Copies of this chain bind each other. A is one copy, B any other.
Amino acid sequence: MNNITIKDVAKETGLSTATVSYAINGKKSLPEETLKIVFDAIEKLGYVKNYSASSLAGNTSNLIGVVIPQTEPGKAMVFENPFYSEILSSIEYNARQKGYHVIVSGTNADEKYFNLANQRNLDGIIIIGVYSADFYEGLKKSNIPIVLVDSYLNTHNYDLVKLDDYLGGYKATRYLIDHGHKKIAFISGTLKEGGVNVARFDGYKKALEEAGITFSQDLILTGTIDFESGKTLAQRMIETMDNTAVFCTADIMAIGILKKLNEMKISVPDDMSVIGFDNLNIANYCTPGLTTIGQDIFKKGQKAVDLLYKAIKSDESKKVNEIILPIDIVERESVRSI
């Protein structure tokens, strides 16, 4: 308590608090000498900036918010899908390198989030996934820089980073076709407008069409993006289809499929080929290893932070940046040729 403040540094150096502040924030170019004096004193006294004060006075909080979808409104366990913990980890790391702290909040992503943004005077927000129109409207009221991750819904012209999901869907399906499969099921989370699943679905259909395979709605199954839903849909798949392969748009669901098939004594890949999407760590952990469409989640987080940082720093220049990260097939053991 009774902390070292900028005043103490001023006293110690014989300079004014203004000069100390200028030195710390590098907003005015001060002579080398002055800088050294200030930084020496800071070092000596062990001064650290009080962000509450700085945020109040200057309207920069060095705090960024990350919005992550929740399975159910108001619930915990935002991280049941490891994709989110992996990307959050990357965001936190990259933000830290730039001097920002991260507030994750399971706040229902509705108008309410706008409150958090104001209460904490967030410098920027990274939004992962797709939300209701209300949510974006609410945020629009503030002028906080925003970066969208994995969203095709961008009526507000925010910066965004995503994958070529269409290509991913295409490649996954094509990979199965190249391995001789013709009856290929498609399992995913809800086909929500603006979400990644729709794009992946389109890629799936394109690959089918290109190979002269007739698309059938009977091979399509959707649920929620979690392990249990994967299990449930796997069972339904076995009961209602005679497919030889399945493309599942989320590894966490694909793992559920693997598990259920194993329980049903259906061998992967001997009796059924499975390909996922994400290349989560668990795709590597499970047995058989899951062949999947790999994305670089660390880089995704990094790019999101980079874009946000630029937007925060440059206020103006509202040209929209869109970064599309590459995807690749990661071959493991869950697909076989027939």
Residue of B nearest to A52 (CB): B55
Chain A 206-226, CB-CB to B under 8 Å as 1, else 0, gives 000000000000000000000
Complex Cα spacing A112 to B182, Å: 58
User: Are the C-beta atoms of A76 and B52 separated by less than 8 Å?
Assistant: no
User: Are the C-beta atoms of A115 and B82 separated by less than 8 Å?
Assistant: no
User: Are the C-beta atoms of B118 and A93 separated by less than 8 Å?
Assistant: no
Complex Cα spacing A75 to B55, Å: 28
Residues of B within 8 A of A94 (CB): 76
Whether a CB of chain B sits under 8 angstroms from the CB of A154 is no
- List the one stretch of A145-153, A173-181, A281-289 in contact with chain B: A281-289
Known contacts A52-B55, A102-B103, A121-B52; decide if A93 and B75 are in contact (CB<8 Å).
yes
Residues of B within 8 A of A286 (CB): 285-287
Say which residue of B82, B106, B119, B259 sits within 8 Å of A85 (CB atoms). Answer: B82
Whether a CB of chain B sits under 8 angstroms from the CB of A236 is no
Say which residue of B61, B90, B115, B227 sits within 8 Å of A76 (CB atoms). Answer: B90
Say which residue of B56, B84, B102, B259 sits within 8 Å of A56 (CB atoms). Answer: B56
Interface hits, A72-126 → B, CB 8 Å: 75-80, 82, 84-86, 88-90, 92-94, 96, 101-107, 115-116, 118-121
**Nearest Cβ in chain B — how far from A190, in angstroms?**
22
Say which residue of B48, B61, B85, B102 sits within 8 Å of A79 (CB atoms). Answer: B85
User: Are the C-beta atoms of B298 and A76 separated by less than 8 Å?
Assistant: yes
User: Are the C-beta atoms of B287 and A52 separated by less than 8 Å?
Assistant: no
Chain A 281-321, CB-CB to B under 8 Å as 1, else 0, gives 11011110000000000100000000000000000000000
User: Are the C-beta atoms of A120 and B101 separated by less than 8 Å?
Assistant: yes
Known contacts A1-B142, A120-B51; decide if A79 and B86 are in contact (CB<8 Å).
yes
User: Are the C-beta atoms of B104 and A104 separated by less than 8 Å?
Assistant: yes
Say which residue of B1, B50, B116 sits within 8 Å of A101 (CB atoms). Answer: B116
26 contacts between A and B (CB under 8 A): A48-B118, A48-B119, A50-B118, A52-B56, A52-B120, A52-B121, A75-B93, A77-B86, A77-B90, A77-B93, A79-B79, A79-B82, A79-B85, A79-B89, A82-B85, A89-B106, A92-B104, A92-B105, A96-B106, A101-B116, A103-B103, A104-B104, A227-B285, A259-B287, A282-B285, A285-B285
Known contacts A102-B103, A120-B52; decide if A77 and B89 are in contact (CB<8 Å).
yes
User: Are the C-beta atoms of A48 and B115 separated by less than 8 Å?
Assistant: yes
Whether a CB of chain B sits under 8 angstroms from the CB of A337 is no
Whether a CB of chain B sits under 8 angstroms from the CB of A7 is no
